[in-house]
Structure 1
Amino acid sequence: MSDLTGKSDLTLKAVFVDALDRFGARPALHYQGRTYGYGEIVAAANQLAHRLRAAGVGPGVSVALMMSNRPEYIVADQAILRCGAVKVALNDMLSASEIDYILRDSEARVVLADAGMLPAALHSAPPLLETVIAVADPDDCPGGVVAWHDALAGQPTTVPEVDPTPTDPGLIVYTGGTTGLPKGVMHTQRNLALNLFSHVMEMGLLDDEVLLLMSPLPHSAGFLLQAGMLKGARHFLETRFDPELVLERITADRVTFTFMVPTMIYRVLDRAAGRALDLSSLRTILYGAAPITRERLEQGLEVLGPVFMQLYGQSEAPNFITRLRREDHRLDPDGEHRLASCGQPVVMATVRVVDEAGRELPRGQVGEIVAATPYTMVGYRGRPEQTAKALRDGWLHTGDIGRMDAEGYVYLLDRKNDMIITGGMNVYSTEVENAAAACPGVGQVAVVGVPHPDWGEAVVAFVVPDDTGAFDEAKLLAHCRVELARYKQPKAVRVVEALPTTVYGKLDKKALRAGWPGW
């Protein structure tokens, strides 16, 4: 099936086709009271893949996947990889302008959308877009849009004949850009297959896993679901996070594995406090975006047991660069310091801390975190200069500042590019600043992330009004709601007379954070 056996077909199609056929009628997905078997999902994916092939989809062709969490997302995901095509997944929190940019930049020729995201796709309609298939009733589909049922009807359930190669592109992930425009992170079929193997290995999946996924599939949850499917796991897929539902899934449905950010974990612990609940089925809570606090870990170990596992990764090397194991989440004095780390490098990654010239620093010294993995991106789409800056001498320069201790545990100290992590979602301050600056009355604006007890960090805009007198805080927030995804919008606005600068005349964001009065 792969390079690992001496062949040269290490692609997602080669990995998944035989693997999923093994599971037949085994339950794969539970969604809103209905169960979907592996065989049912595979048959529908093959039907959709044949319809996509008829529309000209094959290796190198971008297909935009615009759906909230739902079974059709999983079918579409499998159909795209069975065509050897390029998946461009867009989450339902993006603004219309962001969607328009991504569809145009990726040169998407086909869109697979649900009813909620269909209007945004039709509003954009980039030049190369040829086919739109919507999860909607045929009577509700505008002219030229193919209803999901009609797209699958009459199509074969066999695997389509198409032979992608390991070097063909397989995924473009759009992440915040320092210029205000999202960057398209490109991954090959080989990258994605190896990344999938890393997920299965580092997640420690057993043969009887029951996964609960609540965060958007276009992000980390989609990689975790693919890994779970390779192991024949059952998946409970939810459209949103609900702490009470989490407890119900664990107690009644015997969930063994779930993925959350610390904010979500805290809410589950608050809901569980003082209740007699059987949570013994849970083996793993995989979390990321920020360390868990000692106080909350102590509470979590008491309520849930030794189930916590932290990951650190980027879109450029998805999810697993380092991992903080379950046994590292201990409260004894010798291990307490490790709770501030994001763990040691995973099996498939090598990590160093380097200075500005790229020279490796001794353990304990602070510098930029760089990583080498077999699943590092091949580059940013259409951005050779930024690609060259990020990929140097075989190393991915993460833009994160940190240190590594004598045992190889990595500690993140700051973010070189002013990225904000709020509720587990990445936000680039420059992107928010560019949106806010276009609002009438804004003279200058600086955006920073400030500590927040619930979100980890919150986006805060510091504004110097211009001399027109037109600035209005409510109007700025309304403007940002139109221009930015929900998680990128400022949670607070503070009016200041001037923005602080360093002795070199540069904007001093550290001073802004230090001056934040709190919530």
Structure 2
Amino acid sequence: MSMTLALQRSVQATPDRIATVFHGRHQTFSEYGDRVARLAGALQSIGMKAGDRVGMLGVNSDRWLECLMGVWWGGGVLNPVNTRWSVPEIVYSLDDSDTGILVVDDHFLNRVEGIRATAKRMPILVYAGDWPTPEGMLSVEELIAAARPVEDANRAGADLACILYTGGTTGFPKGVMHSHWTLWSIGIQRLAQTPMPGESVALHVAPLFHMGGIGRALVQFIAGDTHVLAPAFDAREVMAIVERERVTDLLLVPTMLQALITHPEFDCFDLSSLKRMVYGASPIAESVLERAMEALPGVAFTHSYGMTECGGVTSNPPENHGPEGRASGLSRSAGRAGFGIAVKVVDDSGNEVPRGEVGEIIARGPNVMLGYWNKPEETARALRDGWLHTGDGARMDEGGHVFIVDRMKDMIVSGGENVYSAEVESVIARHPAVQACAVIAVPHAQWGEAVHAVVVRKPGAQLDDAVLLDHCKGFIAGYKCPKSIEFREALPLSAAGKVLKRELRERHWTGHSRQVS
């Protein structure tokens, strides 16, 4: 299968249906398909060959979706760049994947000089915005206008489609490789689990560089329905768009959902068009879920648990969110294995544990990644005997419902963003006044979890929170930087000299039913 087949079907069957809506711009599938075919030809004319990587650095927009399909139509591989990254993180992903073309929108032109100054291979820069084209960049609009539409390159099946960078346990991001087949499977599985009868209108608020965002876009492409795009999450603007465009489908992380239902103007907007709400990326507080279902009584809620490496793993359907599901506790589960996916909970030796006991979730299915780009050792650790090891601790009941209880890998989820402790620790350790450090997750009322650093200064060194935080901001994205810093004389160590992070976490998580939030 090829993801471009979905577009071919829409252009043929429903050419006049609205494909994208962004900032007042509406284009049909016929118009969108023509721009995609021309953009593919333009990218080929500036050097993109089959399998070459093309980066997209921009907020959600119609042009982002044109780039997505345009790269695939022309035979390339998309590198969706995390817009919250610092310049060194962006450059790492470009260098690591050998990205030869980088499309940049208005919002990130201030990153271009830093990329130019530090990238090992300077990619060809293409400007996708509404202002005059900056010096040294090509205009995407001029390229599309001058290009002739080309035939679909028809890369499909096991051909690489995209590299999605996620945090790394070694301190460097990992490029998750997805083929056309794995992406098609992710989209079909989501569509099967959350059917959309009739024409749907989906609002993309979750960033498209995330699996959550791009996965939702795949669903909409396969269904041949309308994409409405918001450049960033703003609760009031989301409600205004839902009312104006009669949005039927919305995917939010719990922090977004909480901001939406607690907004002082919530009752001022007509949200009656909403039919389906998918939430995920981090656990949700019961109080938030209860209030959301009360505030949006006509909406079917679904919880999706997954990861960049495979899209969805389990799905908790609307029926588990009703009175019976809440009374039985099933509303607090992550649901059962998704369609076409096998899920087990295993011990350290890979043996399935008895129902009710805690172990690691592993998954197998056509949606699982090909591996990590240029990281064979990390790939081998994650993919064992055909199973993807998630690093998440959970228990499974007799009905196959999965309950997440802990995170076995050293990762923090803050506002739906994954932060690997090793990556933050690596940056903190670079400061000359730091002797040792450990980074842990602590509960946070708004973001679910927050990054907390425990630091040991070198003897005689002077270092305070503000200085260390400024240091971190020079290397990593703001959401990865510590929200709180604690200085100690020493870190608790095991007999083998390993930092005992459970001891560091203990006082912060006392009284919580699970060790993730």
Q: What residue is the counterpart of 1:363 in the other structure?
A: 355
Return the alpha-carbon distance in structure 1 between the equivalents of residues 491 and 473 of structure 2.
24
Shift of 1:272: 5.8
Whether 1:316 aligns to 2:287 is: no
Match of 1:473 in 2: 465
- Name the residue aligned to 1:167: 158
One-letter amino acid of the counterpart of residue 310, structure 1: H
Q: Is residue 488 of structure 1 aligned with residue 462 of structure 2?
A: no
Counterparts of 1:127 and 1:508 in 2: how far apart (Å)? 38
Q: Secondary structure at the match of 2:126?
A: strand
Q: Report if aligned partners of 2:202, 2:226 keep a CA contact under 8 Å in 1.
A: yes
SS in 1 for 2:350: coil
**Paired residue type of 2:408:** K
Q: Which moved more, 1:225-234 or 1:456-465?
A: 225-234
| Cα distance per residue 1:58-112 (max 9 Å; x no partner) | 3221111111122211111110110121110002211111111100110111111
Q: Residue 107 of structure 2: SS of its match in structure 1?
A: coil
Paired residues in the alignment total 506
5 Å-filtered alignment, 1:392-471, equals: 392-471=384-463
Q: In the alignment, which residue of structure 1 is the partner of 2:206?
A: 215
Deviations 1:311-339 (A, max 9, x none): 11111102x11001111113447744223
- Choose the corresponding residue for 2:43, options 27, 52, 62: 52
Partner amino acid for 2:362? V
Q: Which amino acid aligns with 1:349?
A: I
Q: Is the 8 A contact 1:420 1:448 kept in 2?
A: yes
Structure 1 CA distance, aligned partners of 2:337 and 2:327? 18
Other-structure match for 1:92: 83
Q: Cα deviations across residues 424-456 of structure 1 (Å, max 9, x unaligned)?
A: 111101111111111232222111111111101
Distance 2:55 2:247 in 1: 31
1:131 aligns with 124
Cα deviations across residues 231-258 of structure 1 (Å, max 9, x unaligned)? 2322321112112223333344322111
Q: For 1:218, what is the secondary structure of its paired residue? A: coil
* 2:354 matches 1:379: no
Deviations 1:373-415 (A, max 9, x none): 1021111111111111111111111111111110001111211
Describe the shift of the 1:441–1:47 C-alpha distance in structure 2 as closer, same or farther (beyond 3 A): same
Amino acid at match of 1:309: T
State how far apart, in whole Å, the 1-side matches of 2:404 and 2:23 are: 39
**Among the aligned pairs, what percent are the same residue?**
34
Equivalent residue for 2:515?
A: none
1:134–1:279 distance in 2 versus 1, CA, 3 Å: closer
For 1:274-333, what per-residue CA distance to the aligned partner results, in whole angstroms no more than 9, with x for missing partners? Answer: 837543321111111233222222222221025221111111102x11001111113447
C-alpha deviation, 1:127, in angstroms: 4.7
Letter in 1 for 2:108: M
- How far apart are 1:51 and its partner, in Å? 0.9
**Alignment equivalent of 2:178, drawn from 171, 180, 187:** 187
1:83 matched residue in structure 2 = 74
Paired position in structure 1 for 2:514: none
The answer to whether the aligner puts 1:19 opposite 2:10 as a matched pair is: yes
Q: Take 1:249 and 1:153, find their aligned partners in 2: how far apart are those partners? A: 30
Match of 2:329 among 332, 337, 358: 337
The Cα offsets for residues 484-515 of structure 1, whole Å up to 9 and x where unpaired, read as: 11221111112222222345542121222222
1:494-513 matches, within 5 Å, as 494-502=486-494, 504-513=496-505
Is 2:319 the counterpart of 1:327?
yes
Q: Structure 1 506/331 Cα, relative in aligned 2: closer, same or farther at 3 Å?
A: farther
Deviation at 1:189, TM superposition (A): 1.9
Q: Distance in 2 between matches of 1:245 and 1:276?
A: 12
CA distance in 2, matches of 1:234, 1:162: 24
Asked if the contact 2:60/2:204 (under 8 Å) is kept, the reply is no
Distance 2:131 2:204 in 1: 30
The CA deviation at 1:49 is 0.3
Q: Is the 2:167–2:173 contact (alpha carbons within 8 Å) kept by the matching residues of 1?
A: yes
Q: Judge conservation of contact 1:310–1:343 (CA < 8 Å) in 2.
A: yes
* Counterpart code for 2:97: S
Which one of the candidate residues 217, 230, 241 is aligned to 2:233? 241
Root-mean-square deviation (CA, aligned residues, Å) is 2.2
Which of residues 351, 358, 381 is equivalent to 2:343? 351
Does structure 1 retain, via aligned residues, the 8 Å contact 2:183–2:218? Answer: no
Measure the CA separation in 2 of the matches of 1:467 and 1:285: 53
Structure 2 partner of 1:288? 280
Unaligned runs of 5+ in 2: 511-517
Distance 1:131 1:160 in 2: 23
Structure 1 residue ranges without an equivalent (≥5): 1-9
Deviations 1:346-380 (A, max 9, x none): 11211001111111222212111100010211111
- The one-character-per-residue Cα deviations of 1:454-484 (angstroms, maximum 9, x if unpaired) are 1010111111122242312111111222211
Question: Relative to structure 1, is the Cα distance of residues 250 and 12 closer, same or farther in structure 2, using a 3 angstrom cutoff?
Answer: closer
The TM-score normalised by the length of structure 1 is 0.92
CA distance in 1: counterparts of 2:507 and 2:490, whole angstroms: 13
Say whether the 8 Å CA contact 1:58–1:162 is kept in structure 2.
no
Contact 2:79 2:163 in 1 (8 A): yes
Q: Distance in 1 between matches of 2:409 and 2:146?
A: 51
Check 1:21–1:94 CA distance in 2 against 1; reply closer, same or farther (3 A cut): farther
Alpha-carbon contact 1:59-1:169 (below 8 Å) kept: no
In structure 2, relative to structure 1, the CA distance for the partners of 1:161 and 1:317 (3 Å cut) is: closer
Length-normalised TM-score, structure 2: 0.92
Aligned-partner Cα distance in 1 for 2:280–2:147: 41
